[in-house]
Amino acid sequence: MHKLKVGQQLYFVPRCHPQKARYLEVAKVGRKWAYTLDDYMIDLESLHVSRPGYSSLGTVYETIEEYSEKTAKADAWIMLKSLVSCIYRVPKNTRFLG
């Protein structure tokens, strides 16, 4: 359970449009949800953001550095995975005789 406070600025990254990331301000904190000035609801367990009648719209992070660290780890994993997957391909300029 995350401890958010009224007035706290959170970095919101929309799921479908991460390039439109922005800050949201917490207006009210309940037992399960925190509410922002923009009528978003933040799940205090997962930090997923939603609105009534919508599925998860994205995630909030306490700092932009936290988000940057997460994306850096994901990018490093993708790079490693792509390098390792090349092992199982036929090398260039290989000729098959037969």
- The mean predicted confidence, pLDDT, of the chain is 87
- Residue pair 41/34 in contact (Cβ under 8 Å)? The answer is yes
**Model pLDDT, residue 88:** 66
Q: What is the mean pLDDT of residues 74-90?
A: 78
3-state secondary structure of 94: coil
* Neighbour tally for 28: CB within 10 Å: 12
pLDDT digits (tens, 9 = 90+) for 8-53: 999 999 988 888 999 999 999 999 999 999 889 999 999 999 988 8
Residue type, 75: D
Q: Residue for token digits 């932009």?
A: 64
- Beta pairing partners, 25: 9
> Residue 6's pLDDT is what?
96
Please identify which residue in the block is written with the tokens 């993708």.
78
pLDDT at 76 over 90: no
58's tokens: 């994205």
Query: What pLDDT sits at residue 98?
Result: 57
CA distances from 10 to 20, 39, 82, 93 (A): 14, 14, 33, 52
Beta-bridged to residue 14, according to DSSP, are: 58
Query: What global pTM score does this model have?
Result: 0.72
Q: Provide the pLDDT for residue 54.
A: 80
